Amino acid sequence: MKLNGSASESLQNNYQKIDAENVVSLTPKLKETRLLDGWVAWLEQRPNEGGRTTILIRRWGQFDCQPKELTPSPWNIRSRIHGYGGGAFTLESAGDKLGLAWVDASNDCLWFKEWSGLQNVCEENPTLKELNNPLCLSKLNDWHLGDGLIDLGKMIWLGVMEKEDRDYLVTFSLLDKLQEPKIIYRAADFIGYPKLSPNTRNLAWVEWQRPNMPWDKSSLMVGRLLDFERLDSIQLLAGTCSKSSKLISVFQPMWLKNNQLLISDDQNGWWNLKLLEIDNAQGLRSQFKNIFKIKAESALPQWVAGMSTIAKSDEDIAVLSCKESIWSLNLISNCGALIKIDIPFDEMSYLDANNGRAVLIGSNPFQEPTIVEIDLKKKSYNCQRRKNSAYSLPKKLISPGEDLWFKGYNKCNTHAWYYPPLPILHDKSPLIVKVHSGPTSMASRGLNLSIQFWTSRGWGVLDINYSGSTGFGREYRDRLRNGWGNVDAFDCCAAVQELIKLGKASREYIAIEGSSAGGFTALRCLSSSDLFRVASCKYPVTDLVSMLKTTHRFEEGYLDYLVGNIRDNYSNYFERSPINNIDKISTPVIFFHGLKDNVVCLEQVRKMADKLNANKVPVEFHTFKNEGHGFRDAISNIKVLELTEKFFLKHLRL
């Protein structure tokens, strides 16, 4: 990439490029924070250990102390429930004891272990003492377990089992090894979020059925739990009722009291909080009360288990809300007063709380995701700056996202984040367009080092919240209904045109990248527009008809929403499939795919690459032996970033 004269060379010397290795290998991914009796626990996925995920724990506030690793190597915490996993561990306390149950990736079995020392508060750096060796509770079988809870009084694990073509609520004793699951409930299809009332007499959970996804149509179920042996008096208390044609999605039920249940549903077009008063004497009948009615989302699409945006602390409720892809933390008091807690984080997730404290994972334009502790009484926070390359960078080397609103499909207002290049005065204005996956995900504003990788090299980056994205209400999400491949591609092209019009991008130097559903949209952009000069796709959907036949159970009916029923819309499936639009694509493409991908078939992508190559379109195709749908290993992700940059520079002649 050429520079304009000595002034530019001088500026270049004041800036430094972020290496691919620093983007990936030194940045463990944090997930599923938990707060328990003054202790903070979380999952840490480590790219430099092949993507292994482990459980760490430390005392509240002790940021400078080395956390204890409860599951050292070779343990790898991961569930495969519903294909995408999540909810792979649960922990509970009983006096001085800590109990932990987890699913291990090596055999998909459920394990349990106990420690003592939770109440050693006098020690400067308290330690936990192991009480037993890990006990394998479940037999090796063809089921998947996850999204569970444990009761240390009854010594029971209760959670979801996915077996063959159905979900079940099952229990395992925490005292015996190699058990068969005890089935207490058989669902019509899918189950998520089982939650136990404080007196353990009632169980709440969410159900949904194909072809609907849980963020489109789901129901809250509640039943009486009889000594963890069986459920009776099961009733549908919220969400979509069989008699109603209105689609309602329910998220994360949480018991406040034995007769009070909190949920988030989108009946009013936004995921908002609703309180249910349950009358056990009248057969679990309930009354509803809206307690947090705003034009913002207090939930997320349930792609994985274990997500949390709601938590209870004493008599108060802590809730995360998202408006236009910016998150806020709110506190609802027992008298109904609403307080927004001012903390400097735009992206927040995995909220938990108790005893006047809360914990979550937060980030902002200058702060990578980190564990944040909040004193809910003082309305103050504390966090630890993670020790990696990001924090050796001064703010001037970080490009924060700027709001970009533009007219998308059907002239609807549509949002994106634009990251300007660092001011190195290139004689070109290259732009890379990022298409998020899902397609229900969102482009957020937290520090993303892969974006800064490009801006530090003089690229602008456009991260688009195209129609169908979360964080803008149900109407925005439903813009994509039956329009996948057309509406999203139109939005991406319209956003680029807006930047060109504003003079922030050169038409000759536009690149696009996407993975999974984002890869599908990127390929649709190539076949419907001449805007893009080069593209990168990780495990993209290329053939909708083939995907319908081969995808896993969780997404089996998703295309009914995105494209329409295939019986009535076969032509849309065919015409929108990138594999059937090869002759319309002349853009060089680099593909990446994992050989263990169970979501997008390898042969779909290989066929796409081969056909483009036969048409003399420049193509590279790279496979990764130990990767699935979503790359975890640092070496893989470094290779992807470096090969992508090399490919882009070559074909854009920069």
CATH number at residue 251: 2.120.10.30
Please tell me the predicted confidence (pLDDT) of residue 10.
44
Q: What is the C-alpha to C-alpha distance for residues 201 and 187, in angstroms, rounded to an integer?
A: 20
Regarding whether 417 and 296 lie in a shared domain, the answer is: no
3-state secondary structure of 356: coil
The Cα diameter of the chain in Å comes to 82
What is the DSSP secondary structure assignment for residue 224, as one 8-state letter? E
pLDDT digits (tens, 9 = 90+) for 215-269: 999 999 999 999 999 999 899 999 887 556 689 999 999 999 998 999 999 999 9
The contacts of residue 143 (CB under 8 Å, 6+ apart) are 108, 161, 162, 163, 181
Containing structural domain, residue 204: 189-304
Is residue 623 predicted with pLDDT exceeding 90?
yes
Average the pLDDT over 24-50 and give the result. 90
| CA neighbor of 449 nearest in space, from 510, 369, 370 | 369
Please tell me the predicted confidence (pLDDT) of residue 555.
93
Is residue 387 predicted with pLDDT exceeding 60?
no
pLDDT digits (tens, 9 = 90+) for 176-192: 999 999 999 999 999 99
Regarding whether 258 and 407 lie in a shared domain, the answer is: no
The model's confidence at residue 598, banded by pLDDT at 50, 70 and 90, is confident
Please tell me the predicted confidence (pLDDT) of residue 4.
36
Q: What percent of the chain has pLDDT over 90?
A: 79
Higher-confidence position of 290 and 150 = 150
Higher-confidence position of 336 and 303 = 303
Regarding whether 466 and 604 lie in a shared domain, the answer is: yes
pLDDT digits (tens, 9 = 90+) for 54-93: 999 999 999 888 899 999 999 999 999 999 999 999 999 9
Regarding whether 428 and 295 lie in a shared domain, the answer is: no
Residues paired with residue 285 on neighbouring β-strands, in sequence order:
279
Regarding whether 299 and 436 lie in a shared domain, the answer is: no
Q: What percent of the chain has pLDDT over 70?
A: 93
pLDDT digits (tens, 9 = 90+) for 523-535: 999 999 999 999 9
The contacts of residue 309 (CB under 8 Å, 6+ apart) are 251, 252, 264, 298, 299, 300, 319, 320, 321, 349, 351
H helix runs in 230-303, sequence order: none
Regarding whether 280 and 407 lie in a shared domain, the answer is: no
HSE-up of residue 4 (Cα within 13 Å, Cβ side): 8
Is residue 9 predicted with pLDDT exceeding 60?
no
Q: What is the C-alpha to C-alpha distance for residues 631 and 648, in angstroms, rounded to an integer?
A: 21
Please tell me the predicted confidence (pLDDT) of residue 18.
84
Regarding whether 432 and 286 lie in a shared domain, the answer is: no
Strand order in the sheet with 402-407: 402-407, 413-419, 460-465, 431-435, 510-515, 534-538, 589-594, 619-624
Radius of gyration of the chain (CA): 25
Average the pLDDT over 399-405 and give the result. 96
Phi then psi for 478, rounded to 5 degrees? Answer: -80, -5
Is residue 494 predicted with pLDDT exceeding 60?
yes
Show the tokens assigned to 186. 């058989």
The model's confidence at residue 1, banded by pLDDT at 50, 70 and 90, is very low
Q: What is the C-alpha to C-alpha distance for residues 71 and 102, in angstroms, rounded to an integer?
A: 9
Q: What is the C-alpha to C-alpha distance for residues 348 and 311, in angstroms, rounded to an integer?
A: 13
pLDDT digits (tens, 9 = 90+) for 440-482: 999 999 999 899 999 999 999 999 999 999 999 999 999 999 9
Mean pLDDT value across the chain: 91
User: What's the length of the chain?
Assistant: 654
**CATH code for position 530:** 3.40.50.1820
Residue at 417 is within a domain: yes
Residue at 227 is within a domain: yes
The beta-carbon contacts of 143-146 under 8 Å, at least 24 apart in sequence, are: 143/108, 143/181, 144/79, 144/80, 144/81, 144/82, 144/108, 145/79, 145/81, 145/103, 145/108, 145/110, 145/170, 145/181, 146/79, 146/80, 146/81, 146/85, 146/86, 146/87, 146/88, 146/103, 146/305
Regarding whether 441 and 298 lie in a shared domain, the answer is: no
Show the tokens assigned to 155. 């010594």
Residue at 452 is within a domain: yes
Residue at 362 is within a domain: no
Last residue within a domain, chosen from 257, 287, 304: 304
Last residue within a domain, chosen from 273, 289, 304: 304
Contact call for residues 413 and 462 (beta carbons, < 8 A): no
Please tell me the predicted confidence (pLDDT) of residue 196.
96
Is residue 272 predicted with pLDDT exceeding 60?
yes
Q: What is the C-alpha to C-alpha distance for residues 25 and 49, in angstroms, rounded to an integer?
A: 9
Residues paired with residue 373 on neighbouring β-strands, in sequence order:
359, 382
Is residue 558 predicted with pLDDT exceeding 90?
yes
Please tell me the predicted confidence (pLDDT) of residue 253.
96
Regarding whether 642 and 494 lie in a shared domain, the answer is: yes
The model's confidence at residue 40, banded by pLDDT at 50, 70 and 90, is very high
126, 127, 129, 135: CA torsion to nearest 10: 120
| CA neighbor of 253 nearest in space, from 293, 321, 197 | 197
Please tell me the predicted confidence (pLDDT) of residue 586.
96
The contacts of residue 472 (CB under 8 Å, 6+ apart) are 324, 325, 415, 465
pLDDT digits (tens, 9 = 90+) for 162-174: 999 999 999 999 9
pLDDT digits (tens, 9 = 90+) for 101-134: 999 999 999 999 999 999 876 666 668 999 999 9
What is the DSSP secondary structure assignment for residue 630, as one 8-state letter? B
Phi then psi for 652, rounded to 5 degrees? Answer: -95, -5
The model's confidence at residue 551, banded by pLDDT at 50, 70 and 90, is confident
Regarding whether 645 and 523 lie in a shared domain, the answer is: yes
Name the one residue in this structure whose structure tokens are 């001011």.
423
The model's confidence at residue 15, banded by pLDDT at 50, 70 and 90, is low
Average the pLDDT over 577-587 and give the result. 96
Strand order in the sheet with 380-383: 347-354, 357-364, 367-375, 380-383
Residue at 273 is within a domain: yes
The model's confidence at residue 297, banded by pLDDT at 50, 70 and 90, is very high
pLDDT digits (tens, 9 = 90+) for 340-362: 999 999 999 999 999 999 999 99
Please tell me the predicted confidence (pLDDT) of residue 2.
35
Count structural domains, the chain.
2
Regarding whether 407 and 299 lie in a shared domain, the answer is: no
Last residue within a domain, chosen from 261, 277, 304: 304
Residue at 611 is within a domain: yes
Regarding whether 427 and 283 lie in a shared domain, the answer is: no
| CA neighbor of 23 nearest in space, from 644, 638, 435, 457 | 638
Is residue 5 predicted with pLDDT exceeding 60?
no
Mind giving me the DSSP string for 147-169? EEEEETTTTEEEEEEEETTEEEE
